[in-house]
Amino acid sequence: MLNDANSVPPPLPPPPQPVPGKSPACAACKHQRKKCVDTCVFAPYFPPGLAREFHRAQKVFGVSNMAKMAAGIPVGHRGLFFESVVYEAELRYLNPVTGCAGQVDRLRRQNCELRHEVEVLREKVRVYEDFFHNNNGNGNGFVYNISDQHPHDNCANLNAVTNNSNSNNVVFYSAGSTLLNGERGKRADS
């Protein structure tokens, strides 16, 4: 069981190659207490080590339904099918009420929040660019050239300049110790 309800279950390992001779029964055949035959549809995708994943998948979908669905899928795509079945069953186990729909909803909200954050950061960059462009060469503002820094240092340097990364109010300091408010050139002391 995964500890965090927002965690994504790990993908299934690739199906094992058949070993000549006697091989142990797959998780599906062990669950059904029958001998695993060479034509078993579950054997390549649910080896004995994935018994927990199979148990959760069969509780959600049922063995017969999974076999019928897998029979209608080309062999080359069955790995993706069973990976999806295991993923959905794992999410249903972690959150019985919403299952994978809850995960989709959570990811949509997170995507929306991140898009909003990107827009806020773009606006901050625009304010910075306007400020630096307007004060370049006047002698009363400083110019901070990001291209002179190492690429991996840009984020740290940008945070040092803003001095408050959680605020939408951008504050600049000019060479003459005048405090500028990020509201498009409006001086804080006026």
pLDDT at 129: 85
* Whole-number percent of the chain with pLDDT over 90: 44
Mean pLDDT value of segment 131-151: 56
Per-residue confidence band for 134, with pLDDT thresholds at 50, 70 and 90: confident
Q: What value, to the nearest 5°, has the Cα angle with vertex 12 and ends 104 and 92?
A: 40
d(CA 29, CA 36): 6
d(CA 187, CA 141): 13
pLDDT at 135: 74
Mapped to the 3 state alphabet, what secondary structure does 63-116 carry?
HHHHHHHHHCCCHHHHHHHHHHHHHHHHHHHHCCCCHHHHHHHHHHHHHHHHHH
Residues making up the chain, counted from first to last: 190
pLDDT at 85 > cutoff 50: yes
Q: Where are the domains of the chain?
A: 27-96, 103-181
CB 16 within 8 A of CB 108: no
Specify the 3-state DSSP secondary structure of 189: coil
Structure token pair of residue 66? 């999974």
| Closest C-alpha to 162, from 171, 153, 154 | 171
pLDDT tens column, 95-123: 999 988 999 999 999 999 999 999 999 99
Mean pLDDT value of segment 183-187: 43
Interacting residues of 60 by C-beta distance below 8 A, sequence separation 6+: 85, 88, 89, 92
* Whole-number percent of the chain with pLDDT over 70: 59
d(CA 184, CA 104): 39
pLDDT tens column, 67-77: 999 999 998 99
pLDDT at 190: 43
Per-residue confidence band for 20, with pLDDT thresholds at 50, 70 and 90: low
| Closest C-alpha to 30, from 21, 17, 43 | 43
